[in-house]
Amino acid sequence: MGHLEDQCASLQARIAATEVQLADLKQELARAQEAVANAQTQKGDHTPAQESQGRSSWPLGPEEYKRYGRQMIVSQVGLPGQLKLQAARVLLVGAGGLGCPAAQYLAGAGVGTLGLIDGDTVEVSNLHRQVLHRTRNVGKYKVDSAIESLKELNPHPTYIAHCTHLTPDEAPEIFAQYDLILDCTDNPATRYLISDTAVLLGKPLVSASALRTEGQLMVLNNPPRPPGDKTGGPCYRCVFPKPPPADSVVSCADGGILGPVVGTMGVLQALEAIKVITAGTSSANQPVTSSTPESPLLHMFSAYSNPLSRTIRIRSRRANCAVCSAEATVTLDTITSGSTDYVFFCGSANPPALLGRDERISALKYKELVSRAESSSDKSPSSKDRHMIIDVRDKTQFGICNLENSINIPITEILASDPSDATPSWVPAQLVEAELDEPVYVVCRLGNDSQLAVRRMKELGLDRGGQRFIGDIQGGLRAWREHVDPEWPEY
Report pLDDT for 52: 44
What CA–CA distance (Å, rounded) separates 118 from 367? 39
- With bands split at pLDDT 50, 70 and 90, how would you rate the model's confidence at 351? low
Average pLDDT of the chain is 87
DSSP 59: S
Q: Catalytic residue among 8, 163, 252, 346, which?
A: 252
Which of these ranges, 141-150, 269-278, 463-472, 476-485, has the smallest mean pLDDT?
463-472
- With bands split at pLDDT 50, 70 and 90, how would you rate the model's confidence at 6? low
Q: Residue 202: left (phi > 0), alpha (psi -120 to 50), or beta?
A: left
What CA–CA distance (Å, rounded) separates 183 from 205? 7
- Taking 80 as the threshold, does the pLDDT of residue 420 lie above it? no
Report pLDDT for 429: 82
Structural domains of the chain, with CATH: 63-282+294-346 (3.40.50.720), 357-484 (3.40.250.10)
Q: What is the DSSP string of 251-318?
A: -HHHH-B-HHHHHHHHHHHHHHHHHHHHHEE--SSS--EESSPPPPEEEEEETTSSSSEEEEE-----
Is there a catalytic annotation at residue 8?
Answer: no
- Residues marked as binding for Zn(2+)? 235, 238, 321, 324
Report pLDDT for 290: 46
- Residues marked as binding? 97, 118, 125-129, 142, 186-187, 235, 238, 321, 324
Report pLDDT for 283: 39
For the stretch 389-415, pLDDT in tens is: 999 999 999 999 999 999 999 999 998
- Residues marked as binding for ATP? 97, 118, 125-129, 142, 186-187
CB of 382 within 8 A of CB of 365? Answer: no
- Taking 60 as the threshold, does the pLDDT of residue 300 lie above it? yes
Q: How do strand 280-281 and strand 214-220 relate by DSSP bridges?
A: unpaired
In terms of pLDDT, which residue wins out, 9 or 443? Answer: 443
Report pLDDT for 55: 53
Q: Catalytic residue among 163, 184, 346, 444, which?
A: 444
Report pLDDT for 464: 85
For the stretch 214-256, pLDDT in tens is: 999 999 999 999 999 999 999 999 999 999 887 667 777 778 8
List, in order, residues 6 or more apart from 152 with CB less than 8 Å away.
Answer: none
- % pLDDT > 70, the chain: 81
- With bands split at pLDDT 50, 70 and 90, how would you rate the model's confidence at 43? very low
For the stretch 162-196, pLDDT in tens is: 999 999 999 999 999 999 999 999 999 999 999 99
- With bands split at pLDDT 50, 70 and 90, how would you rate the model's confidence at 299? very high
Which of these ranges, 16-30, 174-188, 281-295, 305-319, has the smallest mean pLDDT?
281-295
Is there a catalytic annotation at residue 444?
Answer: yes
- Taking 50 as the threshold, does the pLDDT of residue 289 lie above it? no
Across the range 322-336, mean pLDDT stands at 95
Report pLDDT for 109: 98
- With bands split at pLDDT 50, 70 and 90, how would you rate the model's confidence at 432? confident
List, in order, residues 6 or more apart from 52 with CB less than 8 Å away.
Answer: 60, 61, 62, 63, 64
Alpha-helical (H) ranges within 383-446 are 395-400, 411-416, 429-433
29 φ, ψ to 5°? -65, -45
Across the range 426-449, mean pLDDT stands at 84
Provide the β-strand partners of residue 215: 210, 301
From residue 409, alpha-carbon distances to 199, 391, 406 in Å are: 45, 6, 10
Report pLDDT for 285: 39
